[in-house]
Structure 1
Amino acid sequence: MKIQTIYLLITGVLVLSCNDSFFETSPATQITTQEVFSSENNIDAFINGAIRYLMENSTSQDNPGLPTIFLTHEVMGEDAFARDGRYGYRDSYPYRDPFDNTTRRALFFWTLQYTSIDHANNIIAHIEIKEESSQRLKHLKGQAYALRAYNYFNLVRQYQFTYAKDPNAKAIPVYIHPTTPATEPNPLSSVSEVYEVILDDLTEAEKLLSGFERTVKNRPDLNVVRGLFARVYQTLGEWELAAEYAERARTGYPVMTPEQYTEGFNDVSNPEWIWGHPQTQTQNRGGASYLAYIETTPYTTNANGTNLYYGYNSIMPDPWYVQIFEDGDIRKSLLEVATQPNEALYSHYRNKKFRNKYPHHDGHIVLMRAAEMILIEAESKARLNNLTGAVETLNELRRNRNLADLSPADFNKERILEEILLERRRELWGEGFRLYDILRLQTAPVRRESTETFVDDENNTVAVRGHWFTTFPDGSPLVPNSKYFLFPIPLNEINNNPNL
């Protein structure tokens, strides 16, 4: 990786934390490594800044921190598409960017996550846990282990195919110590070697975070660590452990009601959110934020009654996606065609699942929910041939989406797995899971041109807009395990690391 100095790294992170009205701060000018780690309050401020860096750091308007990857993953599937000609994700949608390793987005993805890993490495290296160490110090180090595991888990799935395909495939370099200008860049580790680091880190985090009670939901606690364990074991096909950890992760986080589902997915106070990142007006990037790209809900109308939208509104639900919902599903009620000829999203479906906060555009970022854990648990039970348990677990979610219970008698293993995987698409749209599932399941997205029409407000029959790219850039069909699904190691990294 491109080595950064510890001085610049720490100063930059603490500058972020000092602007954060949620958290305590510590000095951010002329800071040395010794000063940063000289007190628990300073370490706490460093972690605040490290989390904010990962979630908010941006090199351009279309790269709003880690959620940039969430949005990229959505438009690389089949249930969403990038609005033609609209800024933001129009090159990710047809698999051109970040596939091209010379683009700024390819560099941004790599640099953001490896810098975040270096933040965690510094915390881990500079906190020595002794018998007399305070609980708070243990909790701070535990959070760093969780953040490092989260980053490596994301990276290993972005830069190489899934574990089940080839655990020995070379994936990414692994760094577990702070880097300096003199650090020798590491070679690529295999997929299985990266997962060993991830599981070791989560194990340490689980030990150290015992008793931790956070005051802000962007801090990883035991529920978050267990949710990460559940995701990892799901990817590894360790179904008993995936089910166990998913159930433990959602303890204390009830599934949101149908009414809560319609409130806009914009606040960590939602009882279902296990992990989320709150933002103030000054932190949020406004029209270039995560919500500004995924939100397609009008915030007001003009004097003529025409719907007005805030932000780029670049990512749209595909018409065929609407067809996978049952009638009566609260989520289906949020999908509707924009019928006013003069409104910006005319002839597109909009998904009112996401709604920014107005007037300050300071909506929060969702990172983990109880519904996702239910779906991991249900899938795990199905793969373990516990079909009754799988259906009962899935019904817990369905009841909170205004849907009737399913009967185990109506399903065999194949059919209930198909239903659970469809439910992941219904429930998790826009949250960044789609490409990860395509890679994990070794499937291909099925993109079809829209055949749907509607009658607009001027009584014209109009085609609903949908997919406008249905092949890879070379004209070949969408197939499983394609090179176009993987992020490339950026050219800058290749030039700086002779050991790759």
Structure 2
Amino acid sequence: MKKILFHFTLVFLAAAGFSCAGDLDRFSRYSIPPEAVTEADLPAMRMGVYSSFQSGGPGVRSYIMFDILGGNIRGNSGTSKDQINSMLSSLNSYQNTSWAGYFYILYQVNNLIKAAEKYPGSSEATLALGESHYFRAYLYYCMVTRWGDMPILRENTQENVPRDPAEQVWNFIEEELELALDLLGSSKSYYYVSHDAAVALMARVKLSRGKKTEAAELAESLIGKYKLDDFEKIFRKAANTEIIFAFENLSEESGLNISDLFYTYAHENKGQGVYYPTKDLLAVFSDEDKRKEITFTSVAGQTLFNKYPSGQTGKDPVIVSRVAEMYLISAEAQGRPNGLARLNDLREVRGLTAINPAPTTDKAFMDAVMDERRRELVTENFRYYDLVRTGRAVEELGIQSHQVLFPIPGQQRLLNPLLGQNPGYGD
């Protein structure tokens, strides 16, 4: 990354629409050199990282991008294919904002690691390191599932660096999570990273890499500790037994408002009405499904997403991991017939009958798992990559084969010519 100490920060601020004076003051604490940080500064640095995810970071659409591209979310106009071709352009502003935003947070995380390593044995430094390694893994998971090959930056640099192969990035993610698992314990609430949060992300990573036995074991270890709960509790900020980790997304500091994109101005909490559920998505929900009422609502004759209820009145938590995903990971990883029990456990709690007769082929079982993932995890940023990782994206979405990866943003390639471009997107 060319001049990463400066370029990512300034590009991100410009892309996000921040004015210079006020926001340079606001983010100035992130520019403190690690060598100048004292142990007493570590809590503020930790909170700064959490704040960056919640203040927009890679942009609000990055948190629903896989639903937009995966056929769950439609815009006001144009076809689904138009939407995909527009989003998957190297000139698309959302591509640049998300790339710059992820590296902007990575810059802070790397600084925090370097600062915390100066205080071995300190409980505050241990916590900071555990959280940082989790966040570094999470950031790289977000990036490798979008762009594939990515530069692995274990520390910040002012030099241009090329991208590392995706396989090495996945290895790095697992290494970071192993470090996090060694350092983290329980947390005071699910709005802070914990050992369980690292287990949940590792289960997701293992499944993505086809390491199914390990994925199932990790998921099962959390199913015994967490319990499926009512959707109304999960998505209405009530105490619940399901969430493993979420960003609290406090109103006073957050620019991350998913609900504002989903509700229309006719809704009592107001919204821009930018995105709506697709007909294809609505068709996979039955009236018996207890998730349906919280997932969707009808206002002035329009069906709207309803998982995030605040509209323009506030901000909603953004869930990263919850135990329902672990049921689905375990089911998929165990496969047919062993995984059917976990799939039916989830269905029963959500008001659906057990799948009967049982699927007689592996494809039929995977179809059932993918349908359940779609219903359970809609607007939680899974669908597009679920289709990519299972080899279904080209057929089900009608995309070109190269569109299973995002293009490298043009602005980033100007800053660093060594990045190159993903195949199919030109030079």
Bin for the TM-score computed over the shorter chain: 0.7 to 0.9
Determine whether 1:355 maps to 2:309.
yes
1:277 and 1:411, CA in 2 relative to 1: closer, same or farther beyond 3 A?
A: same
Distance across 2 between alignment mates of 1:216 and 1:256: 17
1:352-406 deviations in Å (ceiling 9; x for gaps): 3332278x41322121111111101110011xx4x1x311111221121112233
1:488 and 1:375, CA in 2 relative to 1: closer, same or farther beyond 3 A?
A: same
Determine whether 1:319 maps to 2:319.
no
Determine whether 1:429 maps to 2:378.
yes
Determine whether 1:176 maps to 2:154.
yes
Counterpart pick for 2:62 among 69, 89, 94: 69
Counterpart pick for 1:330 among 290, 298, 307: 290
Which residues of 2 match residues 53-202 of structure 1 at below 5 A? 53-57=52-56, 65-84=58-77, 94-128=83-117, 133-160=121-148, 171-179=149-157, 183-202=158-177
Which residue in 2 is equivalent to 1:42?
41
Counterpart pick for 2:270 among 269, 293, 310: 310
TM-score under structure 1 length normalisation:
0.73
1:251 and 1:6, CA in 2 relative to 1: closer, same or farther beyond 3 A?
A: farther
1:158 and 1:335, CA in 2 relative to 1: closer, same or farther beyond 3 A?
A: closer
Tell me which structure has the larger Cα radius of gyration. Answer: 1
1:194 and 1:178, CA in 2 relative to 1: closer, same or farther beyond 3 A?
A: same
Helix, strand or coil: the match of 1:5? Answer: helix
1:275 and 1:327, CA in 2 relative to 1: closer, same or farther beyond 3 A?
A: same
TM-score under structure 2 length normalisation:
0.84
Determine whether 1:226 maps to 2:202.
no
- Report the residue type matching 1:68 in the other structure: R
- Report the residue type matching 2:163 in the other structure: L
1:391–1:408 CA contact under 8 A, matched in 2: no
* Shift in Å, 1:107: 1.5
Distance across 2 between alignment mates of 1:47 and 1:417: 40
Which residues of 2 match residues 301-450 of structure 1 at below 5 A? 310-334=270-294, 338=298, 343=300, 346=301, 348-356=302-310, 360-382=313-335, 385=336, 387=337, 389-406=338-355, 409=358, 411-444=360-393
1:115 and 1:249, CA in 2 relative to 1: closer, same or farther beyond 3 A?
A: farther
Distance across 2 between alignment mates of 1:435 and 1:190: 21
* Shift in Å, 1:439: 1.3
RMSD: 3.3
Identity %: 23
1:35 and 1:94, CA in 2 relative to 1: closer, same or farther beyond 3 A?
A: same
Higher helix share: 2
* Shift in Å, 1:84: 2.4
- Report the residue type matching 1:51 in the other structure: Y
Which residue in 2 is equivalent to 1:168?
none
* Shift in Å, 1:315: 1.9
Q: How many residues align?
A: 408
1:52-107 deviations in Å (ceiling 9; x for gaps): 1123236xxxxxx454213222111223211228xxxx999612444222332221
1:157 and 1:226, CA in 2 relative to 1: closer, same or farther beyond 3 A?
A: same
Distance across 1 between alignment mates of 2:30 and 2:233: 41
Distance across 2 between alignment mates of 1:48 and 1:416: 43
1:307-330 deviations in Å (ceiling 9; x for gaps): xx5111322112232222344111
- Report the residue type matching 2:153 in the other structure: Y
* Shift in Å, 1:419: 0.6
